[in-house]
Amino acid sequence: VFRRTWWLLAVPVFVGLALLFAFIYPYLVAEQHPAPPELTEDVAQFAKRQGTDPVEVSVEKWSDITSVPNAYAIGLGPSRRIFLWDTLLDGRFDDSEVRVVLAHELAHHSRHHIWKGIAWFALLLLPLLGGVAWLTGRRGGLYQPRAVPLALLALVAGGLLLQPLDSAVSRRFEAEADWTALETTRDPAAARALFRGFTREALEDPTPPRWAYQATATHPSIEERIAMATAWERRNSVKRRR
């Protein structure tokens, strides 16, 4: 029915699916259990400082698969949650470093990064599907079987072309979360120790090649994150002297 305009209708459908997945994902994680009470108390205090409602914290089991430490924020509205991998709580990182992680992940919620990420998804999806529609239209339209391989090729190629922009947006969100975590915990030493720990425990390159960084990195480099913590410390030292 919508041979020429299907892509305009597909965008809200895919955005709706993204919203649905973001909302229900916290309920789909199988091996999770409540975080220790002290972490829940920390998040409640951090939520006040960041001007948002408290968020539930859960621990996700990954230690039987990997030793890499990780954490992430997910969920919308009542499903908002912070997940800490149990590899982050096995003693390799002290309490102050874990608090930095909590403040960082809470910042993704308080700064509405999940909503903004879905908005960017919609913005990038529009030209991507529009390009697929234009290319497949030259083969009779997407409903023609012979156009399907071309559509798949266009999706892959378009995704690769848009990847640097998507990565840049993600790095911007992560940098904002890092700064908010520093403003929340006021502990730059713990932040630096945490980032060095990521280099050691996750084998993360502190200074990746520039081309790879621009194309695929979703977080600032470890070197940049440590530099931000130091910059925050110097900035606030000047304020205190004044």
For CA atoms 79, 85, 86, 91, give the dihedral sign: negative
Q: How far is CA 103 from CA 21, 76, 107, 153, in A?
A: 24, 18, 6, 41
The CA-CA-CA angle for residues 179, 182, 188, to 5°, reads 120
Where are the alpha helices (H) located in 64-187, listed in sequence order? 95-110, 113-137, 148-185
Give residue-wise pLDDT tens across range 82-137: 999 999 999 999 999 999 999 999 999 999 999 999 999 999 999 999 999 999 88
Q: What gap in Å lies between CA 114 and CA 52, rounded to an integer?
A: 14
| pLDDT tens column, 173-185 | 999 999 999 999 9
Range 59-82 average pLDDT: 95
Average pLDDT over the chain, rounded to whole? Answer: 93
pLDDT of 242 strictly over 80: no
Identity at 82, one-letter amino acid code: I
Q: 């972490």: which residue's tokens?
A: 39
Q: Please tell me the pTM assigned to this model.
A: 0.92
3-state helix, strand, coil in the chain (%, to 5): 70, 5, 25
Question: How, if at all, do strands 81-85 and 71-74 pair?
Answer: antiparallel
CA pair distance 182, 175, nearest whole angstrom: 11
Amino acid, single-letter form, for residue 35: A
Cα 235 from Cα 186, distance rounded (Å): 12
- Please tell me whether residue 71 adopts helix, strand or coil conformation: strand
